[in-house]
Structures are given as C-alpha cells and as structure tokens.
Structure 1
Amino acid sequence: MAYIEFSGVEKRYGATQAVSRFDLAIAKGEMIALLGPSGCGKTTTLRMLAGFVPVSAGTMRIDGRDVTNVPPYRRNIGMVFQGYALFPHMTVARNVAFGLEMRGIPAGEITQRVRVALERVRLGDFSERMPRQLSGGQQQRVALARAMAINPDVLLLDEPLSALDARLRHEVRAEIRQLQRSTGLTTLMVTHDQDEALSMADRLVVMSRGQIEQIGTPSTLYERPCNRFVADFMGRSNFLPGKIGGIGCFVTEHGAVLSFEGNAPASANTMSFRPERTQLVPIDAVAADAHSDDVNTLAGTIVSFAYLGPVIECLVRIDDGPVVTALLTNTSELDALGMHEGSRAAVQWARRDAALLA
C-alpha cells in the first residue's frame, strides 16, 4: 500500500490549469523528485501536499489518512524551503527549536531533539551561532535539521539546493541523500536540476504543463525516455527525424538507414542518442561495411570543438542533416587522428544506444 497517494489531484486558477489529473503513489521510505521546467506545476503539487495551496479536485492521503482538507499544521510534514527561511535574529538552536515550541513540546525534550537534529546534519558545535555567521550550505543544513526535529511523517524539499554554488550543491545533495536513507524518511523533492534528481531520487516524475510525462527510475528515464520532451529534458540528446522502416529499422528524413534494439511506438518519428555514447572517427577510417546492424554511422563535417575539461564537445553537421553533438573524453588524440574544424568525419553510435521517440 502506498504511503503517500495522489489521486486525480488538480489545481486551477480561474481558467488556468496549473496541475491536471495528477496520480502518484509513493512507498514508505522512498525519495521522489518532481522534475520539470518552470511553470510545469511541480511546486504547486508540493505545496498542495503541504497544505499551503488548496486542491481544486482529487484527494491526497498520507499513510492511509485523507489529508486533502486537513490544515497544514495537522499534517506532520517537515518542509525545507528554497531560501532557507531561517529567522535572522535567532540562534541556530532557536531556529531548530521553533517548530517544537509551537507544538508545545516540553523544554527538556526540545533541548534533546535540537541536539540530535543538529548532530544529524553535523552542526552540533554551531548551536549558538547566528544564521549570518554560517555559509549557505550550513544554513541549508540548519533548515533541514529544523524540518526533521519535529519527527515528520513526510519531508518536502522545495528546490533545496538552488541557492548554493556548484561545489556546495554537490556536497549538500550527497549529505541530504545519505541522511534520508539513514532515517528512512519518505521524501518528496522539487527540482529543475537533472543532476540533482538523477543523483538523489529513487524515482523521478517528469512534468510538463501540469501533467506527468513519465515516471521511473533515474536509469529508465535517462536510457529509455518515452518521448522527445523527456529525452531533451533529462540531459542532452541528439535527434534525427524520420520514420520506422521495418523491424529494428529507422529511416531518416534524408534517407539514411539506421538500426535500433527493442520495440518502438507506432508513432515514432525521431531517433535519439546521447552525446556521450557518440563516437567520432576520421572519414577515411570507416570501413565499407560500417553500416552494420550493431553500429550506426553517418558522415558529416566537424563544425567546432569546445574544451570542457574532462570532455571535449564536438559539433558535427551531418550530410543533408542536422548538427549533432559528440562528447569525447579528454584522452582522445584528436590531433593525432588529424581531425579539426572543417574536417570530414563519421559519427557512430551503437544500436543499443538508440531510442525511438514519439
């Protein structure tokens, strides 16, 4: 039985449908990420579960209890906001204790819970500091400690890392994931960052225009997106328009015959493949039988190289086709291969790495 359950949940603002027929079951101890572009309805969905936004239709249950019309303070939900929302005039300990005080918890128990919560986030020695004396990452951990001190049934994270710089985001997301796993706390997170969602969540819910596009594990959504929107949003992809030409066969709109594994939707009109799965070889190194069943090959001209540290981004304009991207490891001996901007080259990818999209 689902621990959190959304059934036909909708939110309308006049004629605007912010969330439409949202159905989702979350298991106890699971961490789910709502992912999508700005305006897709993910934050509205989170705030409906928190009780801050009333639903227009449908029901929400937590551990079998209908909370659709229950006031926020009776849902026992902990929430971490995008901007921390710490009280600047209170110490770290007072900030963490605030929710407990509002619940009328005895002073001795509050002291104990605050101590445990701060130790969980490795801030036990910072209890008497003011928020302004903390780094952004430390402030976010205080907000997390405050949310967890009330022993919530559910933890909600609203863009929890967006205010941090890139290095801190990487560190704090690992800490949040480790803490969530160790406590077994059922967690729903909102983010627009694919890396955050992929690295932290057990399952992802990709949303667009108030609707769910696809639900699945990080690997499923990345390797087998159900449509072009999901493929494009979950990292970078190359797209070739065309049509199905038979079993395991795809014909591009310019007549190139390519292969793929598995089944494809009858309405498939695009083949996608990831830049990091794309190989670049000199055109004269391609064998006459390169168009095999296992490897797809297209000829083109190198447009540009971009040095990105660990990888080199190469843009190639396919003959009579679009520009595609290949991400090459920094160990690639491009100069030794005689490839440079303007060179003729062949782009290759395995048939198992091709996805057919509607």
Structure 2
Amino acid sequence: MNSYLDFDGVAKRYGAFQAVSDFTLPIHEGELVALLGPSGCGKTTSLRMLAGFVQVSEGSIRLAGKDITQLPSYRRNVGMVFQGYALFPHLTVEENVAFGLEMRKMKPAEIGPRVQKALARVRLESLAKRLPRELSGGQQQRVALARAMAIDPAVLLLDEPLSALDARLRHEVRAEIRQLQKDSGLTTLMVTHDQDEALSMADRLVIMNQGRIEQIGTPDEVYERPINRFVAEFMGKSNFLDGKMGGEGRFDSKLGQVFAGHAADAGRTGAPALMSFRPERVQLRRVDTPVADGCNGVQGRIVRITYLGPLIEYRIALKDDTEITALLPNTGELGYVGGDASSDESVYTAPGSPVSVQWQARDSRLLPA
C-alpha cells in the first residue's frame, strides 16, 4: 500500500539546537497516527512542520503525492485543532466554524451547508448560536474539531486535543473523536504525551525522544514488544533486571539465576542486557511454591503496598536490593493474594512478608543495556 503522507528525513534546527532529527514516517490514507513522547521530544515541532507553521531545515514532506515542503500553510489544505482550541470568543459557534471557509473565499451560499454538515458531525447543531463561553470544555473541543473538518482537509492535525479536559470528560471525548475519525476516513496525525489516549485512539504509535523516533508500531506491538528501555519505561510501567545475554533467548541475571525471554536485538552472547516485564504480568506466590512451567521466578520480600482502587501495587525487594513492582487486581481480601487466610493458595502480603515472584517467560523482553 502506498503512503498518503510522507515525512522523508525531516529535520529542524534552531541554531546549534537540533529539535528534530531524521524524522521519517509514512502514513496511509485514513490512518490515525499518534506522536508520543515526553515534553521537548520534538513531536509538536514535527506536527507544525507539516502544518507549515515551522520551516523544515532538511528533508521533505509529501501529501497525496505532492511535495508540500515549501508551500505556505494556507495552501496545504490541513485542518488543525490546537491545544487550547483557539476559538474566537466574540464569534458564535457557527461563525467560528465558518471562519476557515470565509478565509478561503468560499461563496456565502456554500458556507451555510458546510457549516451545518460540520456541526451535525459533532452533534452541535442546536448550539450554533451560542458563544464559546456558554459551552462546556467538551463542547468547545467539538467546535474546534468541526471548524478543522469544515474545510474538508486532506489531513487533520490534533495537538494535545484533550489536555484541557478533566479525566472523566477526556475519556468520553477521545472515544467520540476516534469514532468520528473512523466514520470520516480522515487521515489524522495527533500529538500527545498521554499513553492511555494514544493506546486507545491510534492505529499506530510513533515514540519520540530527544528529537528522534525510537519506535513505530501498532499500540500492542509497542506495548508488548518495546525495542529499548526508554520505550518500555515510557509506555506504562516496567520492571528491569540487570544481566547479560546468554544466547538462544537466555538471560544470565546478576541475581545468579538464568531466565528465559524474547530478545529485541539485545546483542551478542555475553553483551550487557536487561530483562523487562510488566507489573500486571507478575504473580505472587508463597515463598515455598516451585516456579511454574514456562515461568521465571525470584524470591523477595514485600517492602511497600499501595492501594489504587481496582488494583493493589506491591513493591518487592530482591536479594541484590533491586525492587520490582506487581500490579494485582483488588479482590477485596486486603492482606492476602489468592484468597483468604485459610486458603492453601493465599500469600500473606504485609510489608516484610517473603514471597515468590513469578512471571511468564513469554512476557519477558530482553533489551540492550
């Protein structure tokens, strides 16, 4: 499948500072791709280079087969939803949505139907005469989205589109945006630092760090198979054990134990490496429980327990003082894992309690140190 939008070796420099380096990314028509990374990693700069607000220092950008690298922003047919929505406070909802069409010198007879169609898409027809201050945060966000979509853009850009909303509303609106994007088939590039937002909305994730792309993949690929420590730490929580590659998916840990895992280009046999595994994949067993088939296991003691509502977080210290985390469902039997005190499977979980920590070998990722 040919790509619809192409970043080819794009870079941006501000004097001696390299904001973005060798940014190469093909995007297919109808895809929603999320740029994800910490503040200052270059994701917003990359978005703004596509919009034409920031000049490219190196490389090229092609959209629908056309090189747009040097085109002014108003000739790129790009719709953008800004972090703060950027609505005009003195204009009504319908006047805000009509603004981009008026700037394109569209005939008044054509503007009205386009505005009504855009407002219908976001279910705001009944609020057309209201001013932005008379709307909720979620409604303002939908007005900004309608304004961006009214111009029938070739690509839609979303710059932290949900950051101004509270947690409950953010969850609702991200589902609305995703459904709207799917229904319209609009190619979309989104910038966010929120992992949940990216995982739930995007077809593919682009993880960035210090101006460079670290990994590109579907949400499950990036989460389940990170290629390095940065990605594993940034996408959710991860546990790490130090050691070296033992060959054939074997990991020789500094704990003196040999574990099995899946290698992610962790290097040759004997090379320093890390074993990474997710806290929600950890199981706690009684300290005298044998390690189950297909699992890796270590012994440790619980040093901290944190109540998180639906989950309980356990911090476990190993014999070399490495600490790992286990995230287990809250079953209502606080103080025990695997049942109540009378159960043969129960594990007493007060701080200081010894435990056997086990996790599946298939959930173990071997990474370069």
The one-letter code of the counterpart of 1:270 is: L
CA RMSD of aligned residues (A): 1.3
For the residue of structure 1 that corresponds to 2:157, the secondary structure is strand
* CA drift at 1:107: 1.3
In the TM superposition, residue 106 of structure 1 has moved relative to its aligned partner by 1.4
Count residues in correspondence: 354
Shift in alpha-carbon separation, 1:268–1:153, aligned structure 2, 3 A: farther
Q: Which amino acid aligns with 2:352?
A: G
Tell me how far apart the structure 2 counterparts of residues 100 and 247 of structure 1 sit (CA, whole Å): 61
Aligned equivalent of 2:353, options 334, 343, 353: 343
User: Percent identity of the aligned residues?
Assistant: 63
Letter in 1 for 2:315: L
Question: Of the candidates 269, 272, 275, which is equivalent to residue 276 of structure 2?
Answer: 272
Match of 1:297 in 2: 297
The alignment partner of 1:146 has SS state of helix
Q: Does 1:282 align with 2:257?
A: no
SS in structure 2 at match of 1:240 = strand
Match of 2:102 in 1: 101
The one-letter code sitting in structure 2 at the alignment partner of 1:65 is K
Q: Is the 8 A contact 1:4 1:26 kept in 2?
A: yes
Query: C-alpha separation between the residues in 1 aligned to 2:83 and 2:236?
Result: 23
Cα shift readout 1:208-245 (whole Å, capped 9, x = no counterpart):
11111010000000000000000000111001111112
Provide, for residues 6-65 of structure 1, a one-character-per-residue CA deviation record: whole Å limited to 9, x for no partner: 111110000000001111100011110011101110000000000000000111000010
Instruction: Name the structure 2 match of 1:326.
Output: 326
Q: Shift of the alpha carbon at 1:280?
A: 1.1
- 1:296-351 CA-to-partner distances (Å, cap 9, x unmatched) read 11100101111111111111111224111100101174432322111011111000
State how far apart, in whole Å, the 1-side matches of 2:216 and 2:332 are: 36
CA contact (8 A) 2:264 2:365 kept: no
Provide the residue aligned with 2:343 in structure 1: none
Q: TM-score, normalised by structure 1?
A: 0.96
* 2:62–2:68 contact (8 Å) kept in structure 1: yes
Q: 1:129 deviation in Å?
A: 0.8
Structure 1 segment 1-20 matched on structure 2, within 5 A? 1-20=2-21
Structure-1 residue corresponding to 2:53: 52
2: distance between equivalents of 1:182 and 1:225? 31
Equivalent in the alignment of 1:88: 89
Separation in 1, partners of 2:236, 2:222: 10
- Change in Cα spacing, 1:12 to 1:261, as seen in structure 2 (3 Å) is closer
**Separation (CA, whole Å) in 2 of partners of 1:129 and 1:305:** 50
The one-letter amino acid paired with 1:354 is S
Query: CA shift at 1:265, angstroms?
Result: 2.5
**CA deviation after TM superposition for structure 1 residue 263, in Å:** 6.5
1:340 partner letter: A
The 2-side partners of 1:263 and 1:193 are apart by: 25
Q: Which residue of 2 aligns with 1:144?
A: 145
Distance in 1, matches of 2:332 and 2:285, equals 11
Amino acid in the other structure paired with 1:295: C
What 5-or-longer segments of structure 1 have no aligned partner? none
- Aligned counterpart, 2:253: 252
1:174 & 1:245 partners in 2: Cα distance? 44
Shift in CA distance, 252/264, structure 1 to aligned 2, threshold 3 Å? same
